[in-house]
Structures are given as C-alpha cells and as structure tokens.
Structure 1
Amino acid sequence: MQVNRTTLVAVSAIAVVSMAVLSGCTGSQPVPTPSYTPTYVPPPATSIAPLRGTTVPADTLLNPALAAKVDNHEEARPQYGLGHADIVFEELVEGGLTRYVAFWQSDIPAQIGPVRSIRPMDPDIITPFGGIVAYSGGQQRFVEMMIDTPILNIIDGSDAAEGLLYRTSDKDGPHNVGVAAQTIISQHMDLGRAPQMFAYSSSVATSSAMRDGSPGSSINVTFSDERYPTWTFDSAANGYLRYQEGSVADMTDEGGQITATNVVVMTVGIDWQYGPVPRTIMVDSGEAWVSTGGKTIHGTWVKDSREARIRLSDDFGVGIRLAPGNTWIEMPPRDGGSVVVNP
C-alpha cells in the first residue's frame, strides 16, 4: 500500500507533540521547601530588686520592706542579720553615739536587731520605703511622729508585736530586743512590693563612681569623738569593709565582716530643738560622696519632702547610679563631723 507523504508527516508531528506533553507531565517534581522550626528559647523574664538593683526573676521579691531601728552600742554587737540588710543609714543620736535605720527586702533573715527606740528623724528616712518598721518604743512624741505615717508600726510591748519582738538570751538588756523578721514579712505581704529608692547601673564597672570618680581606697567618717567608722576597699570582696572607731573590724553575727558594695556619705544639718536628742535634718540638701569599686565621685544629695526619695547627683547635675548590691549611707553632721576620702 502506498502511504501519502503528507499524512506521514502529520502523524509524526502529532507523535512528537504527544511525547513532549508526556515528557512534561512525567518529569521530576519541585522539591518542597522544608518547614522551619525555631530553636530560640527566650530567656526568663527578669526584674530589678528594688533596694539592691540586682537582677532577679520576674514576679519575685514582691514583699514589702522591713525597717528596724538597730542598736549600735558596743554591747549590741554583733547585731542580728545586719549583714543581710539592703540599705543601712547611720545617724547621730544623743551622747555622740550612732544608731542604724536598716532595711531588709531582698534577703530576709529569721532574726534582726537588737532594736532600740525611735528618733525624730526616722519618719523622714523610713516613709518613702513604705512597708513596716520595728522598734522598741521611744519618747511618746517621737512614737506619735512615726505612727503618723503610712508605715505599719510594730512596737515592742504592743499587741501588734506579740510573738514578733522578744528578748534574746545572748545579750543584756536593753540591747537584746530581737525581731522575727521572716514571720513579720509573711504576715504582711498585702502591703505590696517596696519601691526602688536609687538609680542603679548594670554592674560595678558601669557605676557612676567607677566611670567618673577618683581613686578612693578608704573613707573615714567622723560623727563625734565616740563614733568614727572607716570603710576600706577590698578588691577580693569587690566592696568596702567596715571598721568601728577606725580599727575594730565590724563583724556580723555570722562571723564575717560587714561589707558594702556602695558607701554613700551625706553631710547633714542637725536640729537641737529636742534638747539632748539630735534630729538629723532629712528634708534638705547637702554634699555627698558616693564610693563604689575603689573610686569615689563627689556630688550633692537632695530630699524634697518626707515622702520624697533621696536624689544623688554629681557636680554637673547628672544623676548618680549605684552598683547593684547593698548600700550603707553615713550621715555625719556638717558642723562637727567630717569625711575624708583617701586615694
């Protein structure tokens, strides 16, 4: 049979097209892109310890601050739990002696003290912190000043102090009133978290004193002929070791020496309207020295009202940042007291 050439060409063309179509249908398929599973795990949320500036897990340290009027008589030493305090103020009292207003919030020991009586400047110191204050009593007018604040007062001998303030057996009276600190805090969590008092840097190295200060290996503070503490920088501790009356190591009840990350010295005026009882003038301003990491920066302190926090600024008006850690605040009288920073 004779095949028409035109027909053969057409059939061949159809076959070629069909093969091309089939080739397109049966070729390799595109490889699907694999799905991405992230492996990054966000770090736990954090917050700042309000009275230390240290980084802590979020939703912790929700408790109020506990303040106490702590004895500094020789027979009261070593004090209970003082090495755990976040912030400690040293103030002049009668006879040239000093006492402490100490605050615990981030590290509450079972027992603190010994506590003594309240003084007229204490409401101005304690009020901005909120929370609770424990003390042994005092002149009625001074007690009324303290009660006339938003602070919860726990006074030895009162109903509120039952089972919480007590006499200890290792010291003689009146230097033996202990405070059940952990129990007090557990009973008053409803008072809320303590507010932050000072500005903090992220580390010792980034604190204002370390960045802009001058070398200061020791700080000598004179309140009177009876009280003149010294702070000496210790590189191993990365803090300042405290000595009473120039040379006696100031020890904790746990056997270590009292150490501070930050030492703040504020010269203050003294009001003598209460006779032999000096009242440190807190709603005021004055010179300040802030020491951290072996360096000291000079500046000013200001407190505008009883409720206001203390503001620390350098000589150019820039706010001073403390290093994360505990802070001791020395308040020698500007008339009759002194501060010497040794390079």
Structure 2
Amino acid sequence: MTARNTGLPGKKRCRRAALLLLAGGLLALTAGCSLGGGEEAQPPKPAPVKVQSESDGPAEPAVPSPPPGPKAPLTGLPLGETALARPVMVMINNAPQARPQSGLSDADMLLEVLAEGEITRLVAVYQSSPAVQNPIGPVRSIRPYFIELGKSFGAIQVHAGGSPDGYAKLKKERIDDMDEITNAGPSFWREKSRKAPHNLYTSLEKIRTGAEGRGFTVTGDAALLPAYTFASADAAVQPVSAGGPDGSVEALTLDVTFLVKGYKVGYRYEAGSGRYLRSIDGEPHHDLNNGSQLAAENVIVMGADHKVLDKEGRLEVKLTGGGEALIFQKGRTQKGEWRRGASSEALKFASGGKAVELIPGRTHILIVPNAPDFASHVTYGPTTQP
C-alpha cells in the first residue's frame, strides 16, 4: 500500500514564519515605547529662534543730522539764502526832523558817530535782511571817516552828496558808491509827506539793482567779510557770570552823550528778549516802517580821537589803531578795546586778550570822542528806567 502525503512539514514552516513576524513586531513596538532604561521618550524640541530687540541695535541705519546751515556774518543768525549778499552801507539822517527813520530795525549793524553841527549820523549796514523792498532813510551825505566804516565791511556805500574831502576819497580809492546826486538818482525817491532834506529814501532792492547795473559786485565774498566771533546758542541764553573771569558788572541801563549834553542816547535791558531797547532824547527810538523800538543784543561804545577841520565844523575821526571800549550784553558790561590796523580791515573788539563773542543778533556801535576822556561820555548802572 502506498503511503499518502498529509502536508504536515509545510504547516510547520508557515507557523515558524508567523512566529518570527510576531516576534519582530513586538520588538519594534517595545523599541518605540521604551528608551533609555524605561524613561518616556520626549518629542524633539524646536531650535530656538532669536528675537531682535531694540538693544541689539537699530533695525535700519540711523539718519545723520544735517550739517548746520550758513550763518549771517554780521549777526551770527541762520542765513536764509545760500549765496552771501555783499553788505550795503546807508548814511542815515539823525536830525530830529528825520525821526522816526525807516528801515533801521532791519540793519544787521547800526553805527552812530558825530557829524558837524554836534549832531550824530547813523550808518546802517545791511547784509542778511530779507526786507529788500522796505524804505530806508532819510538818506544823507558822506564824510571820509564814514567811508572808512564802509570799507571795514567791504560794503557798497549809499549816500546823497558829500564833503569835498569825501568826494575826493571816493574817487581816489575807487569806492563802489551809490550817490543820489552824481551817479544813482533812479535808485532813490522823495517822500512828499516830509520836507527836504529829510525826505530822501531808497531800498535794498533799488540799491542792488542799480549797483549791478553799474557793474558792482553784489554777491559777498566770505573771505572779505568781517570774521566776527559769535557765542554758541546755549551760551547766548545764559547770563554773563557776575564777578567771573570776564570782569563784567551789572548794566541794565546805559546813557551815552556825544558833545551836546541835551542830546542823549539811552538803552534799557529787556531780560525777556535779551536785548537792549534804544531811546533818544528820552523817548523810545522807533522804526517808521513797523513801529518797533530799535533794539540790539550787543551794544558797544568805543572811543576815538576827533578833530575839527574847518569853520563848518567838519570832523576827522581816527578809525585806525585802537582805543577803549565797553561791551554791553545780557544785562552786564565788560571793559574791552577796539582795534583796526590797515584802513581795509574791519573793526575788531577784544576783552581780556580774547576776541569778544557777540550774541547772535543785532549790534549797535556808538563812537564817542576821547576828549575830555572816554569815561565822561558813558554812564551805566544796575537799575532799570520806569
């Protein structure tokens, strides 16, 4: 009898394979559930992300501050125009019939000096004023020492007539001048509301247009303009220290006499504005254009030698060399000196061996005789006038 194959060996192989698969699955399950000696497996932590803070630096480059703009050479204030205008000097009538004058509050610098007849004349210097159409005047005649003042600013010199010596100096030195009588009549006009000779006026616009037509340079050369030193903005608002190294003393008021005792110029310090307000013959000195009282951040009184030249009383005023000066700023005054070398140089002021730092703003300069002595023409004190 032939034996029958029952297939048992094949079933054994299948069972073995199934057992191996089961063991492998358990092993994989065990590995997935248990790591490191039975501790639970933690999910992987994400990589830290650094958050930028303000302390790490600006998110974008810092914008640099713009450089300071140009400053007006005679006031130290910001200059509206990038091109420097050449200074213009105008001779101003200061007789009682001429007051109030027009345009004096727009002048960068205002100088006062004696003329014949024991009266003073005003020398208004304009460089940075934007009020080019405002009337300026009344305009009067010129003298040799006024020409010297104009030269110290490199200015176009504006006048109506002059002394014989004045005309000779203008011609000899080839001064750029605008004279209503001889060469620049269209740049002036007469005001009908006043009587001659106290009614002649001009404007910066007319002067510069006329000067350009005559071939004069109307743009200033920074190298030729006076190099005055100005206090910083912070220093300008601080009061001058009492008893400090500058030797200053309190001066809230000052009075200046020239030759005639009845003719007196006064200044009263106004702390709120930091300026000295000007009066003349005991009355506020106003500008007819705007009604404002004339004022200056700096008032300088300087002494110069005066000499009478002829029977008309024409003067010679020595404006080279040097002499005494008093500088009034921020309610205080300090003793100083003025210096001017060659006649082409500017007036310079020093105190304690150092150049005086002007307060940014306007400056008034009063030139008094040295006789009988400088001190006799100036009084000042700590009390304000009512």
When normalised by structure 2's length, the TM-score is 0.74
Q: 1:35 to 1:285 in 2, by over 3 A?
A: closer
Partner of 1:239: 275
Secondary structure, in 3 states, of the residue corresponding to 1:236?
Answer: coil
Partner of 1:103: 125
Partner of 1:210: 240
Partner of 1:228: 264
Secondary structure, in 3 states, of the residue corresponding to 1:184?
Answer: helix
* CA apart distance, 1:237: 2.7
Q: Contact between 2:178 and 2:207, CA under 8 Å: does it hold in 1?
A: no
Considering Cα pairs closer than 8 Å and 6+ residues apart, tell me whether 1 or 2 has the greater RCO: 1
Secondary structure, in 3 states, of the residue corresponding to 1:48?
Answer: coil
Q: Contact between 2:87 and 2:155, CA under 8 Å: does it hold in 1?
A: yes
Equivalents in 2 of 1:317, 1:121: separation in Å? 27
Secondary structure, in 3 states, of the residue corresponding to 1:183?
Answer: helix
Partner of 2:3: none
Equivalents in 2 of 1:133, 1:198: separation in Å? 21
Task: Count how many residue pairs are aligned between Structure 1 and Structure 2.
Answer: 313
Partner of 1:18: none
* CA apart distance, 1:149: 3.6
Which residue of 324, 327, 330 maps to 1:293? 330
Partner of 2:230: 200
Matched, 1:219 2:254: yes
Amino acid at match of 2:377: S
Matched, 1:185 2:220: no
Q: Return 5+ residue gaps in structure 2 as ranges.
A: 1-45
Amino acid at match of 1:140: P
Equivalents in 2 of 1:74, 1:42: separation in Å? 51
Equivalents in 1 of 2:298, 2:77: separation in Å? 13
Q: 1:208 to 1:284 in 2, by over 3 A?
A: farther
Amino acid at match of 1:132: I
Secondary structure, in 3 states, of the residue corresponding to 1:331?
Answer: strand
Q: 1:95 to 1:170 in 2, by over 3 A?
A: same
Q: 1:152 to 1:184 in 2, by over 3 A?
A: same
Q: 1:29 to 1:238 in 2, by over 3 A?
A: closer
Equivalents in 2 of 1:293, 1:257: separation in Å? 18
Q: Contact between 1:233 and 1:293, CA under 8 Å: does it hold in 2?
A: yes
* CA apart distance, 1:141: 2.3
CA offsets per residue over residues 244-280 of structure 1, 9 Å max, x none?
Answer: 12x1111111111111111000011102234411222
Q: Contact between 2:191 and 2:200, CA under 8 Å: does it hold in 1?
A: yes
Q: Contact between 1:108 and 1:181, CA under 8 Å: does it hold in 2?
A: no
Amino acid at match of 1:129: F
Which residue of 73, 86, 102 maps to 2:108? 86
Amino acid at match of 2:293: Q
Between 86-95 and 185-194, report the one with greater CA deviation.
185-194
Partner of 2:381: 342
Cα-Cα RMSD: 2.7
Equivalents in 2 of 1:105, 1:92: separation in Å? 24
**Residues 1-343 of structure 1: pairs in structure 2 closer than 5 A:** 37-56=60-79, 60=82, 62-109=84-131, 110=133, 111-149=135-173, 151-159=175-183, 161-186=184-209, 188=212, 190-193=217-220, 195-203=225-233, 205-206=235-236, 210-211=240-241, 212=246, 213-225=248-260, 226-245=262-281, 247-253=282-288, 254-275=290-311, 276-314=313-351, 316-336=352-372, 338-343=377-382
Which protein shows a greater Rg? 2
Q: Contact between 2:208 and 2:218, CA under 8 Å: does it hold in 1?
A: no
CA offsets per residue over residues 152-191 of structure 1, 9 Å max, x none?
Answer: 21001234x1321121122210011101222322554843
Q: Return 5+ residue gaps in structure 1 as ranges.
A: 1-26
Q: 1:278 to 1:204 in 2, by over 3 A?
A: farther
Equivalents in 1 of 2:227, 2:195: separation in Å? 35
Equivalents in 2 of 1:142, 1:209: separation in Å? 43
CA offsets per residue over residues 190-219 of structure 1, 9 Å max, x none?
Answer: 432261352211248449982532110111
